[in-house]
Amino acid sequence: MAKILMQPGTVIDGFTVGECVHRGGMATLWSVTHPGINVPLLMKVPRVSEGEDPAAIVSFEMEQMILPRLSGPHVPACFGTGDFARQAYVVLERIPGQTLYKRLDDLPIAYEEARALGIKIAAALSALHRQNVIHHDIKPSSIMFRESGEAVLIDFGLSHHEHLPDLLQEEFRLPYGTAPYMAPERLLGVRDDPRSDLFSLGVLLYFFTTGVRPFGESETLRGMRRRLWRDPYPPRKLKPDYPPWLQEIVLRCLEIEPAWRYPTASQLAFDLSNPDQVKLTARAERRERDPFATVMRRRFNRGAWQPQPKSDVAVQLASSPILVVAIDTTETSGPLNDALRVTTQRILGTLPQARLACVNVLKLGLVTIDRTLDEKGSNKHVDRLVALRHWASSLKLDENRLSVHVLEAIDPAAAILEFAQANQVDHIVIGARQDSMLRTLLGSVSAKVAAEAPCTVTVVRPPRSG
């Protein structure tokens, strides 16, 4: 069959080709239209001429397989694909605007702006990982933003889908990706760990806040292999005013061993969204790299770098959820809080990497002026934070798995729902008091949360007396 000539006016499977908007090393992008589709479109066509890199063809096949299976605001919608027998292509939603690459001339950016970017990118990665896909090429030119604010991930040619053949893994020995952003385990052939994307996001945050890439510009395989044993300079070495909470987050993302990074993108987004709750360790204040003896142990300890068997992506994410328990700190809530503690302990007992957020709502009056001090002169907000920590103390969680939050709101149920939505919460545990006429008439907080929450909700009742 004759090869289709890509030029303005050509019609392919109902798509009319317009102008060429980009010529990349592995593909070209064309504007296209279709009579039945009313959104701006792009057709991505692989470069298959003589002498082109064969990996470009394989990566395009991966993108053709993966993109139609993705959905949601964090990926471009896919409207069609064509096979190599006639004309290979992928037709995508055209996202207006530029990629994050356009911001490189502005580096370093403000810490607060970098935090906001990181939250959005981590949320996009969380949504992608929940669809069993690891991106494997997170970098500024692979990230765009919708007008509504959500981060959009593009370019899935190097991605891994848990339920599809990994053609890159099967056909090539060398790791493919963008060298400055590549996770250490990728150099060992590991492609099934979503924490590799968190390493890449850590590189991006480091770069955007310091103006320096943590591993330099080296593109050689030998140079890249140094990150199997050599950590980067801490950001506070480069910028003395670097916030300790941000260094804690960035260096945790950049841990050489994946097990020491955040277990999920959702937990990373949670820390970025709640910087005052970040548990500071020795990472936060470091100004020097690991000592030479530590580096040598990593480099010459052969057994330390054998890839370990992994469970599938969905199982890994399910074992590391964000759990919220809503706690009433009033004196009459003892039996209910005891029941909440038992339920929470049971859930955490099966999820060793779960993150727990203890939440209380300080209810504000609709028309009254609210006082920050109670009748005894104590700060109500601080007292409730202390009460939440006391409630959680018997759970004996590591500090980096626990946070406490007092939300001030007129509507407690709405505040809990908003917190769950903003922090990508997976499971809410909330108490329901004994029936009363007021709750029957107006509805309960637990009922509203259970009806409207975007996640699993467990409603716990206190044991009946007598």
Same domain, 244 and 374: no
Contacts with 278 (C-beta within 8 Å, 6 or more apart), sequence order: 245, 248, 249, 271
The CATH number assigned to the domain holding 86 equals 3.30.200.20
Instruction: Give the whole-angstrom CA distance, residue 284 versus residue 251.
Output: 8
Same domain, 24 and 111: no
Specify whether the CB–CB gap between 169 and 189 falls below 8 A. Answer: yes
- Please name which of 404, 426, 405 lies closest in space to residue 415, comparing C-alpha atoms: 405
What one-letter code names the amino acid at 179?
A: A
Same domain, 243 and 135: yes
Per-residue pLDDT of the chain (466 residues; tens, 9 = 90+): 456 788 999 999 999 999 999 988 778 999 999 998 999 999 999 887 655 567 778 889 999 999 999 999 999 999 999 988 888 999 999 999 999 999 999 999 999 999 999 999 999 999 999 999 999 999 999 999 999 999 999 999 999 999 988 887 777 656 778 889 999 999 888 999 999 999 999 999 999 999 999 998 767 778 888 889 999 999 999 999 999 999 999 999 999 999 999 999 999 999 999 999 999 999 999 999 988 888 888 888 755 555 555 556 777 788 899 999 999 887 667 888 899 999 999 999 998 899 999 999 988 865 554 556 555 656 788 888 899 999 999 999 988 899 999 998 889 999 999 999 999 999 999 988 665 544 544 458 888 999 999 999 999 987 776 5
Same domain, 70 and 206: no
How many domains does one find in the chain?
3
Same domain, 390 and 287: no
In sequence order, what are the beta bridge partners of 191? none
In sequence order, what are the beta bridge partners of 133? 161
- The full DSSP string for 361-373 is EEEPPSSSPPPSB
Question: Within a domain: residue 314?
Answer: no
Neighbours of 173 (CB within 10 A): 6
Domain boundary among 41, 72, 93: 93
Question: Within a domain: residue 465?
Answer: no
Instruction: Give the whole-angstrom CA distance, residue 169 versus residue 176.
Output: 10
CA 365 to chain centre: 36
In sequence order, which ranges of 32-140 are alpha helices (DSSP H)?
54-66, 111-129
Domain that holds residue 31: 11-93
Question: Within a domain: residue 306?
Answer: no
Please tell me the pTM assigned to this model: 0.90
Phi-psi region of 211 (alpha: psi -120 to 50; beta: other; left: phi over 0): left
Same domain, 111 and 77: no
Instruction: Give the whole-angstrom CA distance, residue 51 versus residue 360.
Output: 63
The CATH number assigned to the domain holding 260 equals 1.10.510.10
Instruction: Give the whole-angstrom CA distance, residue 30 versus residue 18.
Output: 6
DSSP state, residue 117: H
Residue 400 to residues 109, 274, 354: CA-CA distances in angstroms? 27, 13, 10
Pull the structure tokens for residue 328: 């009433």
Residue 173 to residues 176, 186, 310: CA-CA distances in angstroms? 9, 11, 20
Instruction: Give the whole-angstrom CA distance, residue 389 versus residue 395.
Output: 10
Same domain, 284 and 155: yes
Question: Within a domain: residue 248?
Answer: yes
3-state secondary structure of 462: coil
Instruction: Give the whole-angstrom CA distance, residue 462 versus residue 460.
Output: 7
Q: The sheet that has 27-34: what strands, in order across it?
A: 11-12, 15-23, 27-34, 37-46, 89-93, 78-82
Same domain, 332 and 295: no
Residue 168: per-residue pLDDT: 78
In sequence order, what are the beta bridge partners of 457? 428
- Please name which of 135, 139, 191, 142 lies closest in space to residue 168, comparing C-alpha atoms: 191
Question: Within a domain: residue 67?
Answer: yes
- Please name which of 79, 67, 10 lies closest in space to residue 38, comparing C-alpha atoms: 79
Same domain, 209 and 353: no
Q: The sheet that has 456-460: what strands, in order across it?
A: 402-409, 355-363, 322-326, 427-431, 456-460
CA angle 85, 91, 95 (to 5 degrees): 155
Domain boundary among 40, 67, 93: 93
- Please name which of 139, 292, 283, 284 lies closest in space to residue 203, comparing C-alpha atoms: 139
In sequence order, which ranges of 18-136 are alpha helices (DSSP H)?
54-66, 111-129
3-state secondary structure of 128: helix
Question: Within a domain: residue 111?
Answer: yes
CA angle 122, 124, 253 (to 5 degrees): 25
Question: Within a domain: residue 309?
Answer: no
Same domain, 362 and 382: yes
Domain boundary among 275, 301, 327: 301
Same domain, 327 and 293: no
Question: Within a domain: residue 17?
Answer: yes
Same domain, 76 and 144: no
Positive/negative CA dihedral, 332, 338, 340, 344: positive
